[in-house]
Structure 1
């Protein structure tokens, strides 16, 4: 909870730390790892130029952060103006959350990507569970390729990028990005995560507000039990959980303790609270101890799935009905509904956010990027060609390129059913469940579109519209703290272990004050000071 990103990013903390240290030892051109102001120096970010060449969203943009909403594929797709590539081979290193797709020789969809992009796309695709070790090996062997995905939490990230990645500032800063209209369509908040040492060293892999957590409900199961799932206070929420939980029937209210949902009820900041140039971590606030207390009670009363801490599998439990509510990101919806049995009556809704004592909720806004993508240092014409390729990868909803990336070849990878593209068994394999890892080069701002489930667009839109302008971002996103980089994983593990001890009843809630003192001594205070210095360095960016 100290700006370490999602769990899979922590994979880099081990092997890559050793590789990066060795790589940088002989490099005298990189910024010193302890020079916080230099590492966090600001730069003119790329202009934001929203793309206006596609279909009109079916619902109004109630917030600058609101994704464009669509219920169906437009009748006319915007054609791709030209092939971005020059016929050369582009080597890339990417992770995947989906099954690894068939290799190009037996994958007509991949062959079609080559044709449309004008390149020979050579990808090293690694499952997320193995990506950290694979990346470390590639760093050590200098085999990352032309384009490589980088997650944001491993030691010496700015120094690594300075040493091995192309500085893209002259191509993308300010009006420069206008040469790449789809990259110019990426939000400013996403570009902030690509800036190190006064330069733009990567392209975002954006996710926008869909990385934020929401509370999903099995509306059909609540109705079957005759229970209204609404609540307007913390006490009502706990009572609702009691009403529907029945361990003897293999049914629990919650897949896990929904920290991101409880936090707004207690008015907790998103990791850090920034006021008057000073940062206070949520761990240090009395309300966090209240959060631990209610979380412990939820587990002690058997209202949370018993495997939530040791063997978590929340999406499956929600679909199976052993958990009636699940806290997960908005971007998890496709994976959830894909597991539901057709015709089963599966009905997914979202719970409204609730603030403290009737006040308006201020939910946590998720980080704007999933990852960033760097380019290997290369001559200027090669860099521009690669940026053209990435621009194609960012082509938005409503374009032929977007449609092909997501669904592939009609009649082979997908069939049109009631006006919606539906992946076939072959398509699920060849396109990696519609998430071919080319999406980790970069991606367009994610739209609200759920093929075959037009009502889900309205469900998500209404949920987001209720809170987006009140959402709390993590004020340290995109900033670099040397202490967090080198000690953050260990400090985070220490805090997580202490939290689990309290939740499982192995330690009293009152022990938390001692944990916070230790957390500060182990690195929390140093991280605070460095982030405060970084905020000053980035002021006005």
Structure 2
């Protein structure tokens, strides 16, 4: 399993949190960036809300990586390390129960059946942490409405988990109004009191700064969350593409519509990566000659569209993918109807496990990224965290410190006793181990598998599948090969929310790019759309971002 996700599966989201677009940290009050609105007013001279530079360093913990357990596949330049087996013996990362006997009300999302309260899993975890954690899990699919209602009232739980994709409207404003500043407890070397929290990468903490204060306990994400997957078992000894031209040649070679086989599903997300773009991020900007330029204004964007159009014109893309039937992309891939498709890396394990019995020859690999001309790619790092847990401002200092100790327990890395308890439950009750592979019992599936404890804080992203050791080598090896080409985008790790008046600016481009890629419009039609975008607020939005950049500097 991947420690940052449920043992059952990766928690679903509007945009998979393993590959979500950046959400924002400069909340908006009347269109004014929160760094002014929340810091005592724009005329106060207050620097509260600044999320980079010296002010950021004052609120961030110092990074202290853990060396408790050594991976089988080492991480490279921030890539996720891999474990092909469960370490034996397990390490101990928390010497004694961190709790002081307090009780905490905790609200989290849950995708699955809600476990019974006071079941043996909760009892064992409460005993281990020395406190009573009263979880109130809510349906993850309707969680945003629930959060909004709770935060609008006065009865705020002690602890609340909020996914980044749920931080809409007043929910984001409530984060700075209702939740505690954790900087006094965690900033600098204060984090050393909590070694597992200190093991969380700095970028994830940076992304947990709201309104100039460290407020969130993050769930870290991998540096890259999307890949082009291909069927190595169907390609055989055939060469995999290493340039855009190779990709076109691959499409011609492997597409046979008469046999109902096409080379590709919809690859648009990763095509943008091949052309050096940051996909699906509304606030993608870069500096050209000192001026902010949006993705839609770049030549690379037009080249990416033109290339995607060539795949369409060649007939190399499955008709159902062209029709937008994205929900069936996995079925087309496992059924051999397409040989390449784009997906989040979080689904790799599930696909391999699912096909192990149905098709033992199934071999799913991730394509190494390349620049469109065959050179080294420029890969923009994904958001460093996707889900955050917050503590109520009403909690006294002693209870905040107590809960941070519990969060440190929750963030125990793979290969520790604490990780196994929180992620699997009690051995021989919730899971058994055979040949080094932990497997849930029926009771474990009911009580421990849909765990809510893992949302409290998480270790760095790790690839650990003792039941699929070859997959660990494939996945971790792939990410390690991409990592040297990963760069941080201009506003990396900065929580930015655009003013509501600009919310619909990009809507026309959603349909336009599909129409261009599918032969209904021309690439040159982008020019008129960009002109409309500029006149409708795009240039003013550029100035808004320039103001953020001038005041805060870059996030990279």
TM norm structure 1? 0.85
1:7 aligns with 2:15: yes
Match of 2:232 in 1: 219
- Spell out, residue by residue over 1:343-387, the C-alpha distance to the aligned partner (whole angstroms, 9 max, x if none): 622222111111132321122321111122211112111111121
2:189 counterpart (154, 175, 180): 175
1:502–1:21 CA distance, 2 compared to 1 (3 A): same
> In structure 2, what is the Cα distance between the partners aligned to 1:252 and 1:217?
12
> Structure 1, residues 317-347: CA drift from partner, whole Å, max 9, x if none?
4334343323223333233334324262222
User: What is the alpha-carbon distance in structure 2 between the residues aligned to residue 130 and residue 289 of structure 1?
Assistant: 37
- The 1:220–1:488 alpha-carbon spacing in structure 2 relative to 1, beyond 3 Å, is farther
CA distance in 1, matches of 2:171, 2:49: 10
Distance 1:493 1:32 in 2: 34
Whether contact under 8 Å (1:101, 1:436) holds in the other structure is: no
CA distance in 2, matches of 1:412, 1:303: 51
Residue 507 (structure 2) pairs with residue 490 (structure 1): no
| Superposed counterparts of 1:157-306, under 5 Å | 159-209=173-223, 211-223=224-236, 228=238, 230-247=240-257, 249-260=259-270, 262-268=271-277, 271-274=284-287, 278-306=291-319
Structure 1 segments of 4+ aligned residues over 6 angstroms from their partners: 32-37
Contact 2:65 2:198 in 1 (8 A): yes
- Judging changes above 3 Å, is the alpha-carbon distance between structure 1 residues 396 and 222 closer, same or farther for their aligned structure 2 residues? same
Q: 1:275 to 1:512 in 2, by over 3 A?
A: closer
Deviation at 1:479, TM superposition (A): 2.6
Instruction: Give TM-score, length-normalised by structure 2.
Output: 0.83
For residue 409 of structure 1, what is the aligned residue in structure 2?
426
State whether residues 40 and 196 of structure 1, in contact with CA within 8 Å, keep that contact through their aligned partners in structure 2: no
- Quick one: structure 1 residues 540 and 217, their matched pair in 2 at CA, closer, same or farther if it must change by over 3 Å? closer
1:339 and 1:488 mapped to 2: Cα distance? 43
Say which structure is richer in helix.
1
Gaps of 5+ in 2: 1-12, 18-27, 31-35
Name the residue aligned to 1:451. Answer: 466
- Residues 517-536 of structure 1 deviation map (CA, whole Å, 9 limit, x = unaligned): 23334443344333333234
**Secondary structure of 2:327 counterpart:** coil
| Alignment equivalent of 2:125, drawn from 100, 113, 132 | 113
Residue by residue over 1:209-247, the C-alpha shift from the partner in whole angstroms, topping out at 9 and shown as x without a partner, is 1x4312222222333xxx625012112112213333345
2:168 to 151, 154, 157: 154
Say if 1:476 and 1:531, in contact at 8 Å, map to a contact too. no
Contact 2:312 2:519 in 1 (8 A): no
- Correspondence for 1:347: 363
Aligned to 2:386: 370
Q: CA contact under 8 A between 2:83 and 2:466: conserved in structure 1?
A: no
| Aligned-pair Cα RMSD in Å | 3.1
The 8 Å contact of residues 257 and 298 in structure 1, kept in 2 or not, is answered as no
Residues of 2 paired with 1:326 and 1:146: CA distance? 43
Query: Which stretch shows the higher mean deviation, 407-416 or 167-176?
Result: 407-416
Of 333, 354, 364, the match for 2:348? 333
Please give the per-residue CA displacement for 1:21-59, whole angstroms capped at 9, x wherever unaligned.
89xxxxx9944798997533433211001112x222223
Aligned residues: 510
* 1:133 maps onto 2:145 in alignment: yes
Q: Distance in 1 between matches of 2:377 and 2:29?
A: 43
| C-alpha distance in structure 2 between counterparts of 1:427 and 1:522, whole Å | 55
Distance, in Å, in 2 between the alignment partners of 1:95 and 1:347 is 34
Matches within 5 A, 1:47-66: 47-52=62-67, 54-63=68-77, 65-66=78-79
Which residue number corresponds to residue 523 of structure 2?
Answer: 509
The structure-2 alpha-carbon separation of the partners of 1:140 and 1:320, relative to structure 1 and needing over 3 Å to count, comes to farther
How far apart are residue 456 of structure 1 and its match? Answer: 1.6
Alpha-carbon separation, structure 1, partners of 2:168 and 2:42: 15
Partner of 2:478: 463
Q: CA separation in 2, counterparts of 1:51 and 1:473?
A: 24
Using the TM superposition, give the Cα deviation of residue 174 of structure 1 relative to its aligned residue in structure 2, in angstroms: 1.0
